């Protein structure tokens, strides 16, 4: 690669400062920072909600809250974590890193980028506002249907459902703006010589993610709009008494909802090879195979949605189709796992915090994959559906796969973003506490599910008490461990040892050619990627 040297050049004097800077910025790094900060804030908001739930579940019986409020906490926790914590974190990564990785000065559509971010805070406010309105006697609280908003429960719900519908619309618009921008940036702004197959895997992961979002979001938007018209305008899309079909809503929701899992995970899968390659000091194994695995997972992810409601009375041929198609996703996913392991094979490994999180991700996400195969089986799913087994499975996927993946990325890129090294000691403490407490929280939930405990209930039979108590203690330890993460990030932003431009010994890629932190305009001189 032929790159020019880029000295740190802030141009601070020529840009708005203070609040105005953040309101009006079109700089990809500023917007990336806003996405990540917002994500961290909402991660704690969503986390606090579920600690309330776990506190209630510490013992059988109702101790702390009414069942309605319990249901609201569960539903809003999921919506906040998925739409306001994980997705913005991945978008923050995209904003920060894609231009740096492909040699572009900024995102292709910077104003759209600014609007995309500023839609998020009002959407999050809409989602959580019914909690506060209920305090003043307005409405009956937030959406209490779970994040799936299944009809007919959601048709009959209170104003929290309306707030959730509008919030989902706004979050969807924000995601569409982000996706269009990412597609335009990746396709149009790659440095000369950077062909699509030479593009970093993180960008590939995001390209597939953005296409998936564009294809699936209209389905969710249509579904929740139909729900809104059923609630207020006399339509009967999902009302069986009026000739509608409640199962249609499940099809609409999961046609978006299942690809959403890959939308949350593909950016992380794209990041992993870079981290593994850096800390094993070896090139990425199977770049092309991983690219095609991303594409295959994206395509297969669009045609397996109904495995989320195998117990709802689908015809047998449909059950067989969705079972086998869901299982087939394990093939490209296995290719990814194989490539990750092969990248590490006989490498000169070192175990800095990002590498620890990457390894934790591989092991724990592997458990999510294997338990997913169990749930894809129609016969087994008949027993485990709507049990705590499912809750444990998707938290191994979305916490260990998604959030720990995001933490891998934060520790990996934080020195590049801030110009300072974070505390390795605190990072490792955070990792070990997170992994141990995570398993204490969610491993017992597999056993609870196997023993037959249903999900989304505030009270349970006495036989489930011990595992629930362990899970609650684990959840509080997990929540408190994340304060170390927040403190470490804050400490790193404020100062610390100076990071070098390359930061890590084994790094490769355009982004490491820039200074740490990168200049205000990322690539003032176009890098050129040479053949080979």
Partner 1 sequence: MAITMKEAAGARSWVARPNCSLTPILRRGVIALILVASLVISAAFLLAGAWLVLPFAGLELFLLYLALRAIDRRAFDYESIQLDDDSLIVSTRLSSASFQQRFHAAWARVTLEAADGPDPLVCIRSHGHAARVGRLLTPDERRLLFSDLSRHLARPH
Instruction: Give the residues lining the site for partner 1 (CB under 8 A).
Output: 11, 13-14, 105, 108-109, 112, 176, 180-181, 183-184, 187-192, 194, 211, 214-215, 217-219, 221-223, 225-226, 229, 237, 244-245, 248, 251-252, 255, 302, 521, 524-526
To 10 degrees, the CA torsion angle through 304, 302, 120, 37?
A: 80
Q: Tokens for 167?
A: 């919030």
Residue 225 beta carbon to partner 1: minimum distance, rounded to whole angstroms: 5
User: Residue 142 pairs with which residues in a beta bridge?
Assistant: 160
| Residue matched to tokens 């719900």 | 157
Judged by beta carbon, residue 244 or residue 405, the one nearer partner 1 is 244
Give the number of residues written for the chain: 532
Residue 188 beta carbon to partner 1: minimum distance, rounded to whole angstroms: 4
Judged by beta carbon, residue 217 or residue 263, the one nearer partner 1 is 217
Report the distance separating Cα 387 and Cα 202, nearest Å.
34
Residue 197 beta carbon to partner 1: minimum distance, rounded to whole angstroms: 13
Asked whether 339 and 290 are in contact (CB, 8 A), the reply is yes
Asked whether 373 and 330 are in contact (CB, 8 A), the reply is yes
Residue 105 beta carbon to partner 1: minimum distance, rounded to whole angstroms: 8
Judged by beta carbon, residue 181 or residue 326, the one nearer partner 1 is 181
Judged by beta carbon, residue 172 or residue 405, the one nearer partner 1 is 172
Helix (H, G, I), strand (E, B) or coil at 420: strand
User: Residue 498 pairs with which residues in a beta bridge?
Assistant: 420
Residue 331 beta carbon to partner 1: minimum distance, rounded to whole angstroms: 22
Judged by beta carbon, residue 219 or residue 362, the one nearer partner 1 is 219
Find the farthest-apart pair of alpha carbons in the chain and give their distance in angstroms, rounded. 69
Asked whether 336 and 405 are in contact (CB, 8 A), the reply is no
Residue 214 beta carbon to partner 1: minimum distance, rounded to whole angstroms: 6
Q: What are the backbone dihedrals phi and psi of residue 420, each rounded to the nearest 5 degrees, phi first?
A: -125, 155
DSSP at 147: T
Residue 113 beta carbon to partner 1: minimum distance, rounded to whole angstroms: 11
Q: Residue ranges of the alpha helices (H) in 378-512?
A: 378-384, 388-395, 404-418, 424-450, 465-494
Judged by beta carbon, residue 190 or residue 393, the one nearer partner 1 is 190
Judged by beta carbon, residue 113 or residue 507, the one nearer partner 1 is 113
Cis peptide leading into 95, omega within 30 of 0?
no
SS (H, E, C) 170-223: HHHHHHHHHHHHHHHHHHHCCCCCCCHHHCCHHHHHHHHHHHHHHHHHHHHHHH
Residue 363 beta carbon to partner 1: minimum distance, rounded to whole angstroms: 35
First to last CA, the chain: 9
Judged by beta carbon, residue 34 or residue 108, the one nearer partner 1 is 108
Helix (H, G, I), strand (E, B) or coil at 142: strand
Residue 31 beta carbon to partner 1: minimum distance, rounded to whole angstroms: 17
């Amino acid at each position: 690669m032929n790159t020019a040297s880029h000295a740190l050049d802030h141009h601070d004097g020529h840009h708005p400062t203070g609040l105005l800077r953040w309101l009006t910025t079109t700089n990809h790094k500023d917007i990336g920072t806003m996405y990540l900060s917002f994500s961290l804030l909402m991660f704690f908001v969503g986390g606090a909600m579920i600690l309330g739930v776990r506190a209630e579940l510490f013992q059988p019986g109702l101790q702390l809250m009414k069942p309605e409020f319990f249901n609201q906490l569960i539903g809003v926790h999921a919506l906040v974590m998925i739409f306001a914590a994980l997705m913005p974190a991945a978008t923050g990564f995209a904003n920060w890193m894609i231009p740096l990785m492909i040699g572009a000065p900024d995102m292709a559509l910077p104003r759209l980028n600014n609007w995309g971010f500023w839609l998020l805070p009002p959407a999050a406010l809409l989602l959580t506002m019914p909690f506060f309105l209920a305090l003043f006697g307005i409405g009956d609280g937030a959406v209490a249907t779970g994040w799936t908003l299944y009809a007919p429960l959601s048709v009959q719900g209170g104003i929290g459902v309306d707030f959730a519908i509008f919030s989902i619309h706004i979050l969807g618009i924000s995601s569409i703006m982000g996706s269009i921008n990412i597609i335009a940036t990746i396709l149009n702004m790659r440095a000369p010589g950077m062909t699509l197959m030479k593009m970093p895997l993180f960008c590939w992961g995001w390209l597939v993610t953005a296409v998936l979002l564009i294809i699936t979001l209209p389905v969710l938007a249509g579904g929740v709009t139909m729900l809104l018209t059923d609630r207020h305008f006399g339509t009967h899309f999902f009302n069986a008494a009026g000739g509608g079909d409640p199962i249609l809503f499940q099809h609409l929701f999961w046609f978006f909802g299942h690809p959403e899992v890959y939308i949350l995970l593909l950016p992380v899968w794209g990041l992993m090879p870079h981290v593994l390659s850096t800390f094993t000091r070896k090139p990425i194994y199977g770049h092309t195979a991983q690219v095609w695995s991303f594409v295959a997972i994206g395509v297969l992810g669009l045609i397996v949605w109904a495995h989320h409601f195998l117990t709802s009375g689908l015809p047998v041929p449909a059950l067989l189709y969705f079972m086998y198609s869901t299982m087939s996703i394990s093939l490209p996913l296995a290719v990814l796992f194989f490539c990750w392991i092969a990248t590490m094979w006989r490498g000169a490994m070192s175990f800095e915090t990002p590498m620890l999180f990457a390894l934790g991700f591989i092991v724990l996400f592997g458990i999510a994959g294997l338990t997913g195969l169990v749930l894809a089986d129609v016969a087994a799913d008949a027993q485990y559906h709507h049990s705590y087994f499912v809750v444990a499975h998707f938290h191994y996927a979305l916490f260990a796969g998604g959030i720990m993946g995001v933490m891998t990325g934060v520790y990996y890129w934080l020195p590049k973003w801030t110009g300072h090294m974070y505390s390795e000691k605190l990072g490792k403490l955070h990792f070990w506490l997170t992994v141990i407490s995570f398993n204490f929280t969610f491993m017992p939930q597999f056993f609870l599910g196997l023993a037959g405990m249903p999900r989304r209930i505030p009270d349970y039979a006495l036989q489930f008490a011990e595992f629930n108590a362990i899970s609650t203690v684990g959840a509080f330890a997990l929540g408190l461990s994340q304060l170390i993460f927040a403190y470490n990030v804050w400490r790193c932003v404020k100062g610390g040892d100076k990071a070098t431009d390359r930061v890590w010994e084994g790094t490769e890629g355009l982004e490491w050619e820039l200074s740490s932190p990168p200049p205000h305009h990322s690539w003032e001189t176009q890098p050129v990627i040479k053949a080979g």
